[in-house]
Chains A and B, each alone.
Chain A
Amino acid sequence: MTVIDVVATALWVVGAVFFFAGTVGLLRFPDVYTRLHALTKPDNVGLGFIVSGLAIQSSELAVALKVIAVWVLLLVVNAVSCQVIARATWNRGIRPWSRR
């Protein structure tokens, strides 16, 4: 295993940890809005780590750029989707959880 392989593996493991943390948040947080946070942010960061691991490991520049482009695109899509879901839920009258 070369140095690059080790670094890539470390990046992937960190990415997987973020994904796992996101799912834990999805299952444990108390209401829709907090779950939205839990899902959108760690998942995208996790994907970023996985993508960087893939990018440094790839043999061609085109491939690295392509996976990074997919990540950036998914960032944009997820950010707007998160806002849209939140707004739709707010319009439906559901209000955030507060500690009683």
Chain B
Amino acid sequence: MTALDLVFDVVLATVMPVLVWRILASKDLASSVVLFVALGLVSALAWARLHAPDIALVEAAVGAGLTGALLMNALSWIGAEAGVTEPVSRATRVGVGILVTAVGVGLAVAVIHLTQPVGLAHEVDARLADAHVDYPVTAVLLSFRGYDTLLEIAVLVTAALGARLYAPGSVPGGDDPLSPHPRVLARVLTPIVVLVAGYLLWRGASAPGGAFQAAAVLAGGGILLVLARVLRPPRMSSIAVRAALVAGLAWFIAVAALPLATGAQLLEYPSASAKQLIISIEVALTLSISIVLLMFFPGEPAPGEAARHPEDRW
């Protein structure tokens, strides 16, 4: 690690707390949202420096892009003034400051005293052949800890239900004040989005990529289409949406339960077709996760609809 590496890391490490402080301290919610996007970008850089390109991919797609769009969209519905809070007493501030400093110092001491990073990287690499994929991260996600991923997908689908229960799902009327730019952009980018998503999905077998990253990119493309008013936000009343939501989970459960019929364990893929099965699971998961992520995006408020206080809508 050269001196310049260290300088880079120090600059990154200093920018992040400053950004977080500015996010929390700013009175204007819109500033906070933009700073949050910036924080997502810087975090992705940090993950890249920590040699974790998979997480950097997801942070770039979800943390910077999708979450930024969601938060900015939320501002349309609730208004930027909603962030104003009452001032806190001095005693509370001092107390919290002491607590935070103590925890921070304790963490720093603990980290410095760690002798060697213990990890399971060696074990995973040793058994990579059993997993039928070439990339350790995918092996862990879909082979060794496939059960966790299965449950996570179930959680995601449930979250989509929750998102849809609340979201107003309105359709904006009238002329588009921004046309034709969003439409042109959507037209140019959508094929590229699909291509890149497919590429990431395919690469997941041997390099950073995989179902979640591909789904995040697809969801980003979907949000672009909704913003360009080409698509409407997906609604639960549509059979196609419900089928897409459930498809990933259902297929994963089917493939996981299949070995039970032949007397093997749950999720013990038959060796001969393991690789194809894993890829098919990833494809189904990509479809489901992208719809789940897209469902969190409620679209624009109709003119005048968001003027009321949010509680009025219950």
Contact = CB atoms under 8 A, between A and B. Distances in A.
Interface of A: 73, 76-77, 80, 83-84, 87-88, 91
Contact of A80 (B177, B184, B192): B184
Interface string B205-225: 000000000000000000000
Nearest to A76: B188
11 contacts: A76-B188, A77-B185, A80-B184, A80-B185, A83-B181, A84-B181, A87-B177, A88-B177, A88-B178, A91-B177, A91-B178
Question: Chain B, interface size: which category?
Answer: under 10
A73 B178 contact: no
Contacts of A77: 185, 189
Contacts of B181: 80, 83-84, 87
B178 A84 contact: yes
B199 to A, nearest CB: 11
Contacts of A91: 177-178
A73 B189 CA distance: 9
Contacts of B53: none
B178 A87 contact: yes
B312 to A, nearest CB: 26
Contacts of A84: 178, 181-182, 185
B283 to A, nearest CB: 24
Looking at chain B's contact residues, the main secondary structure is helix
Contacts of A87: 177-178, 181
Contacts of A80: 181, 184-185
Interface in B166-195: 177-178, 181-182, 184-185, 188-189, 192
A100 B185 CA distance: 37
A62 to B, nearest CB: 13
Contacts of B185: 76-77, 80, 84
A73 B192 contact: yes
Contacts of B178: 84, 87-88, 91
A73 B185 CA distance: 11
Nearest to A86: B181
A77 B188 CA distance: 9
Contacts of B189: 76-77
A52 B188 CA distance: 24
A80 B188 CA distance: 11
A80 B181 CA distance: 6
A82 to B, nearest CB: 10
**Which 3 A-B pairs rank lowest in CB-CB distance, beginning with the nearest?**
A80-B185, A84-B181, A91-B177
A84 B185 CA distance: 10
Contacts of A88: 177-178
A13 to B, nearest CB: 14
Contacts of B184: 80
Nearest to A83: B181
A76 B188 CA distance: 9
A87 B177 CA distance: 8
**Most chain A CB atoms below 10 A, which of B177, B181, B188, B192:** B181
Nearest to B185: A80
